[in-house]
Chain A
């Protein structure tokens, strides 16, 4: 079962390390390619991400998230660190360009796991400003100050949009988890 890979790594199972690579290699590579334009840099980032995933496998808690979500969380942090360290200098004019409206057609998005599907559903329901702020911060890795400057929005408003949007996504995921648990137990 894929859900146990990280726990097996944490307990010293060597085969699980390779299994982790086989299971999440495509995901991590796709995330890295999405965020980093340079292929060599994406390759370096993927190596860093996997070493980080293996090292922190013991911190994975399957009652809080799926394994896929945990791997994506590590990947995001590493990729954003890289973006901030390297060349990207956000430019005000470029922000509107990079915004891709959340997909209208669900088929257009490969939903990697249930949580991602729920997140996409909730994102579509959010107000456009909330969508924008969440996309710029979470997907593109911009800081709240950068977003405030670019969208000409007060810093407090940026934070409010981000918080409210995220809280809604979190609640939706928790609610669905609760409903799934009820279905399983029924």
Chain B
């Protein structure tokens, strides 16, 4: 094999590695070729090309749910180990990691290591700092107790229900469309409506008369057919119907909806599907 063919093969393997997975034999081959042509190509540029293609498919950005953002913010604040918190507060000792360094690195070691350092004298300002910290802890405990643990006391601001939010959307959005649900099967006693605002990219829908489903076996999934997306509908979220027979849910598309032309509900496996075969359509609302 001459060098040009070998280089060609190296590119192929790098592309395969970035898109799919290499088997053991291919990995060995790649390793050998990389050794032979160390500066010819690198896997990171292939990974970057894959990512760029992946990114180019994102049609719109969505804001993540507040609850998830809060959870991640907590994880972010706890990401670095606690001992980093004491950076710069250690007394100057022989072991001082930061002395003479304008950009000190986070301290390494454990909380015990930190505790083992000789205790400094505690000034009034430090006492004051600890006092504030203690007060903040107490406030946090009280907050958790009153907002999350104490079960009988209602929260100060009750979240509006989906039905209330639907009414609010109807009243507030100028471009809101409201369509009634119909069943593609004759004789089905289905009613309800969907409201959707393109400018707000949100909507709500009510169903009456959909059969109760067993969430362990199947779920209902809402789809939005967008004129600009061809025949591939956009996932609007999954939901279940209990014995009450009436349900109102938010319409939660994963991507930007530009020109909705039809909404539909299918029956799918628990958790929903990425792509529906549309074998069992139970409700349709044309825009």
Contact = CB atoms under 8 A, between A and B. Distances in A.
B271 A38 contact: yes
B55 A112 contact: yes
A117 B56 contact: yes
Contact of A30 (B15, B19, B60, B238): B60
Contacts of A144: 20
A167 B73 CA distance: 38
Interface string A120-143: 100100000000001101111001
A14 interface: yes
A170 B272 contact: no
B118 to A, nearest CB: 24
Contacts of B75: 47, 50-51
A68 B55 contact: yes
B85 to A, nearest CB: 9
A111 B58 CA distance: 8
A112 B182 CA distance: 39
Chain A interface SS verdict (over half): helix
Given A43-B68, A110-B58, A139-B57, A69 B52 contact: yes
A92 to B, nearest CB: 11
Interface string A54-79: 10000001001100111011001000
B68 A29 contact: yes
Contacts of A100: 229-230, 232
Q: How large is the interface on A (under 10, 10 to 19, 20 to 34, 35 or more residues)?
A: 35 or more
A3 interface: no
A138 B19 contact: yes
B182 to A, nearest CB: 24
Interface in A131-186: 134-135, 137-140, 143-144, 159, 162-163, 166-167, 169-170, 173-174
A110 B53 CA distance: 13
11 contacts: A11-B105, A43-B68, A50-B72, A65-B47, A69-B52, A98-B275, A99-B232, A110-B61, A115-B48, A166-B19, A170-B46
Given A29-B63, A33-B255, 16 more contacts: A14-B80, A18-B73, A21-B73, A25-B72, A30-B60, A38-B272, A43-B65, A65-B44, A110-B256, A115-B52, A117-B56, A123-B56, A138-B53, A144-B20, A170-B46, A173-B49
Q: Which 5 A-B pairs have the closest CB atoms?
A: A33-B254, A12-B106, A65-B48, A37-B272, A119-B52
